[in-house]
Structure 1
């Protein structure tokens, strides 16, 4: 019988499984029941997002995916609630490690654009928010994106009205080794950001607010060939919203 080639879905699962094995231990604790591994608990949510489906539907389809189950060494199908609870227990640091490891697989060039975008949370239950007297605020998400691979290097999420110049320093510090050129619009026009970037051996290409003829001259001397690559950040933001929507929701 002819061996079928690997599908894109199978290759995705295999790569995610290898990254998970590099990021975390096999089990979360020595007291674990050892029914499922942390690696499986990481790969299945990734597969859920990849297929843009629910846990319940994913697990139903997984019954008919023997090659995918073999790729992650899964002999039993967990309940949807098991994956929901496992996802809640995973620390954000784990996902940051996975993000960093996945970026290392891509052909990046060190030219990084920083840009912010808003995500709504309007699909929260109005009945629940009214009873609990909660105020649901919009999320402000700031991405640092490599312009060659269109890869997200890092992100910052907040519900406050924090200014862009207050968010950028943390993204620069966390990714100094991956950034050679930092691109930013006038929202990141701040001398402290420029000084911090230069201290980290990063070349800042950030537009100035044009309050004087000198600032207009500085903008005129910007390397437009590099600066125009900032549009890649807006492209990634747009693609994310087209694929996953402009709002954040919880769906199991």
Structure 2
């Protein structure tokens, strides 16, 4: 019988497990039960984000995917509650390391754009939130996108109403080695950002807010072809919202941060296939 070709899901699983094994230890504690490894849990959580499904929905799909289970090296399947506990134990620091390594799978360039996007909390019942006196906060995600291959090397997440000009400096400082040219819209028009970028030998290509005729002249002198690559940041934001939805399922803020970081990680691995 002729062997079937590898599907996109199988190729994604093989690349993800190889990547995660480089970034994490085999087990998460000194006294593991040796039933499942930490890389297996990480890749399963990535598959959950890629399929945009629930823990139980992923469990049902994996039952009918023997080749995926073989690629993971697992004869058994973790229950939905086991995966949920694994997600709670994995911190943001670990996900950030894996995200950085996933961006290295692509031939990135030094032209990087920055663009924010908003995500809502999960669609909870309005009646329930009113009776329980809950406040569903809106999450602001600022993505750092490589304009050449649409990779996401880093992101900034906050639940506050922090302005774009206050977010950009931390992204610049964390990614000095991968930024040569920083692209941004008028929301990042701040002299502190421009000064910081030049001090770190980064060329800021950011549009000016047009208060005077001089600002209009400066904007007209921008390199149109180079600045036009900033639109790739909006494209990546749109892709994440279209594939994963414009909301997050988790209720706690730190889980929401991890959830969006996993979505960016899945995006990078998918782009590398």
TM-score range with shorter-chain normalisation? over 0.9
Q: Could you say if the C-alpha distance between residues 127 and 81 of structure 1 is closer, same or farther in structure 2, counting changes exceeding 3 Å?
A: farther
> Aligned residue for 1:165?
165
Counterpart mapping for 1:7-156 below 5 A: 7-121=7-121, 123-156=123-156
Give the superposition deviation at 1:135. 1.6
> Aligned residue for 2:222?
222
> Aligned residue for 1:199?
199
Partners of 2:124 and 2:156 in 1: how far apart? 22
C-alpha offsets along residues 97-128 of structure 1, whole Å, 9 cap, x if unaligned? 11111111112222111111111226134455
Partners of 1:83 and 1:244 in 2: how far apart? 19
Partners of 1:125 and 1:87 in 2: how far apart? 25
Task: Answer with 225-234 or 45-54: which moved more.
Answer: 45-54
> Aligned residue for 1:178?
178
Give the secondary-structure state (helix, strand or coil) at the position aligned to 1:115: strand
Task: Answer with 52-61 or 11-20: which moved more.
Answer: 52-61
Is the CA contact (8 Å cut-off) linking 2:120 and 2:138 kept in structure 1?
yes
Give the secondary-structure state (helix, strand or coil) at the position aligned to 2:211: coil
Partners of 1:122 and 1:35 in 2: how far apart? 32
> Aligned residue for 2:236?
236
Partners of 1:17 and 1:171 in 2: how far apart? 28
Give the superposition deviation at 1:159. 1.5
C-alpha offsets along residues 138-170 of structure 1, whole Å, 9 cap, x if unaligned? 111111111111112211111211110000111
Give the superposition deviation at 1:30. 1.0
Partners of 1:126 and 1:94 in 2: how far apart? 34
Give the secondary-structure state (helix, strand or coil) at the position aligned to 1:114: strand
Is the CA contact (8 Å cut-off) linking 1:124 and 1:249 kept in structure 2?
no
Q: Could you say if the C-alpha distance between residues 148 and 28 of structure 1 is closer, same or farther in structure 2, counting changes exceeding 3 Å?
A: same
Partners of 1:118 and 1:50 in 2: how far apart? 20
CA RMSD of aligned residues (A): 1.7
Give the superposition deviation at 1:87. 0.7
Gaps of 5+ in 1: none
Give the superposition deviation at 1:217. 2.1
C-alpha offsets along residues 17-74 of structure 1, whole Å, 9 cap, x if unaligned? 0111111100111122121110011000111112222221222222232221121111
Give the secondary-structure state (helix, strand or coil) at the position aligned to 1:120: strand
TM-score when normalising by structure 2: 0.87
Is the CA contact (8 Å cut-off) linking 1:114 and 1:142 kept in structure 2?
yes
